[in-house]
């Protein structure tokens, strides 16, 4: 017998074993369906959670990278004696005008923007609530906030900018008046929606000028200082210069930039993604136990059939192959269906979660990242993992079937 004939014979026998496996699964279609559902859920869990983690990572990276030209200087958090995690032991800290002058001295031609950030009670008509209040020099506002409509506030006028999402929530338009504490301000403009950033998050905020604020409340120290770089190549140089100037004797300020924040965020998200994938893997493990149970029951029920197959000359490895085919079919069908569903489920979950975390900006930003290359790789990984898990679950039942003594199997009732 030549090689071609042998190969044809092998293919024919494999086709026969495959058709036997399909027939056996059809005979117990309810049991097969339930086992497949477990694989579908497991693959969906792995892929959808992976897509969710990737969407959050990509969205946050996009938001922070938009301010890659920014260095943020904040007061160093000082702790008195006692428990460092007890807020009562935190010493109040801020940045003074003298500190700002020292930062300007080493920042060179880069723009230094000091600001006060606090919370304020607002009232618009019958609606009351709280909003973030940002206090900046009038000339600095255009460098941090873009207008959607209206004008920037003038230096000493009782005018303000309102963030887009806050304006939508309270139905505020340019020209309206709002009450800020016991003061009345005129809304001169609506800020363009910006999303989260390391320097300023104006979407739910109100922005007033330093000149007007100081005339009402007197001079106050600043909550933070933003340094806008003209050249990204100066990032490390500027950070080092500020650190040397401010923290030479003791830690006075903390200095961060978007790159540093992203590195910390990516490390955190890597750990979270591993945890999410672990949760999905647990569901696949449960599904594999279900397949193991189905296959063992199938071996027990078909003991006489196995004896007949063995008695007509079928080898042990071929009997084993029949049962492995059954496990493979369950796994591959469940993995394919689970992979298809994962795209839709991952999309819905990602949009919902990111909108709750980042607002409507999050939902819009996620749409472009749900099915990127990384997200698709999670779907493929989930499908492969599901198929392999099913095959592993089918190994013991297949071995048990192949190990049956043909004579004893024929006597089995």
Q: Give residue 81's pLDDT.
A: 47
Q: Are 132 and 206 in contact (CB under 8 A)?
A: yes
How far apart CA 315 and CA 17 sit, in angstroms, is 12
Closest to 14 measured CA to CA, from 318, 310, 312, 390: 318
pLDDT of residue 260: 76
Cα–Cα distance measured from residue 320 to residue 399, given in angstroms and rounded to the nearest whole number: 6
**Residue 22: Cβ within 10 Å count:** 14
27-42 pLDDT per residue, tens: 888 888 888 888 898 8
Residue 398's pLDDT is what? 84
Contact assessment for residue 52 and residue 349, using Cβ atoms and an 8 Å cutoff: yes
Burial of 267 (0-12, 13-18, 19+ CB in 10 A): exposed
Question: Residue 307 CB: number of other CB atoms within 10 A?
Answer: 18
Cα–Cα distance, 143 to 150 (Å, whole number): 16
Most trustworthy range by pLDDT among 24-33, 205-214, 377-386 = 205-214
As to burial, measured by CB atoms within 10 angstroms (0-12 exposed, 13-18 middle, 19+ buried), residue 354 is buried
Closest residue by Cα to residue 392 from 333, 323, 346: 323
Contact yes or no for 251/195 (Cβ under 8 A)? no
Gap between the Cα atoms of 96 and 393, Å rounded: 66
Percentage of the chain with pLDDT > 90? 24
| pLDDT score for 112 | 95
Mean predicted confidence (pLDDT) in 398-402: 84
411: which 2 tokens?
């006597």
Please report the pLDDT score of residue 412 as a whole number: 63
Q: Six-digit token pair at 51? A: 């897509």
The predicted model gives 301-316 an average pLDDT of 79
**3-class DSSP assignment, residue 313:** coil
Q: Would you kindly state where each structural domain of the chain is located, as residue ranges?
A: 17-64+263-411, 77-110+229-251, 112-227
- Check residue 106 and give its pLDDT: 92
Q: How confident is the model at residue 316 (pLDDT cuts 50, 70, 90)?
A: confident
> What does each C-alpha distance from 199 to 64, 108, 143, 227, 397 come to in angstroms?
9, 20, 11, 9, 60
The rounded distance, in Å, linking the Cα atoms of 397 and 402 is 9
Residue 98: partners with Cβ closer than 8 Å, 6 or more residues away: none
Mean pLDDT calculated for residue range 203-213: 92
DSSP conformational letter for 253: E
Which is more confidently placed, 230 or 8?
230
């Amino acid at each position: 017998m030549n090689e071609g004939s042998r190969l044809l014979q092998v293919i024919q026998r494999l086709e026969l074993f495959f058709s036997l496996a399909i027939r056996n699964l059809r005979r117990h279609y309810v049991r097969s369906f339930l086992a497949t559902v477990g694989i579908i859920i497991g693959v969906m869990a792995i892929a959808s959670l992976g897509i969710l983690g990737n969407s959050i990572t990509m969205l946050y990276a996009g938001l922070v990278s938009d301010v890659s030209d920014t260095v943020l200087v904040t007061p160093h958090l000082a702790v008195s004696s006692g428990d460092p995690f007890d807020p009562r032991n935190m010493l109040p800290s801020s940045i003074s005008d003298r500190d700002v002058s020292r930062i300007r001295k080493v920042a060179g031609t880069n723009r230094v923007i000091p600001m006060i950030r606090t919370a304020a009670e607002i009232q618009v008509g019958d609606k009351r609530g709280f909003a973030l209040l940002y206090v900046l020099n009038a000339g600095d506002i255009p460098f941090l906030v873009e207008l959607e409509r209206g004008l920037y506030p003038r230096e000493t006028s009782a005018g303000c900018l309102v963030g887009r999402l806050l304006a939508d929530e309270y139905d505020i338009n340019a020209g309206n008046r709002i009450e800020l504490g016991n003061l009345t301000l005129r809304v001169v403009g609506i800020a363009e929606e910006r999303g989260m950033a390391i320097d300023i998050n104006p979407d739910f905020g109100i922005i007033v000028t330093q000149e007007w604020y100081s005339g009402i409340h007197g001079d106050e120290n600043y909550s933070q200082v933003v340094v806008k770089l003209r050249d990204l190549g100066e990032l490390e140089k500027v950070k080092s210069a500020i650190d040397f100037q401010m923290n030479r004797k003791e830690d006075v300020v903390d200095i961060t930039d978007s790159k540093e924040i992203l590195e910390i965020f990516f490390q955190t998200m890597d750990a979270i993604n591993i945890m999410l994938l672990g949760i999905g893997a647990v569901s696949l493990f449960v599904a594999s136990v279900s397949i193991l149970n189905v296959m063992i029951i199938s071996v027990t029920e078909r003991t006489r059939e196995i004896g007949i197959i063995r008695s007509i000359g079928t080898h042990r490895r071929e009997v084993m192959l029949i049962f492995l085919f059954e496990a493979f079919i369950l796994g591959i069908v469940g993995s394919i269906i689970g992979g298809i569903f994962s795209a839709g489920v991952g999309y819905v979950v990602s949009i919902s979660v990111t909108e709750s975390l980042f607002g409507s900006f999050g939902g819009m930003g996620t749409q472009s990242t749900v099915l990127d290359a990384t997200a698709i790789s999670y779907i493929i990984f989930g499908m492969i993992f599901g198929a392999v898990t099913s095959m592993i679950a089918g190994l013991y039942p297949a071995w048990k079937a192949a190990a049956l003594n043909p004579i004893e199997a024929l006597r089995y009732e």
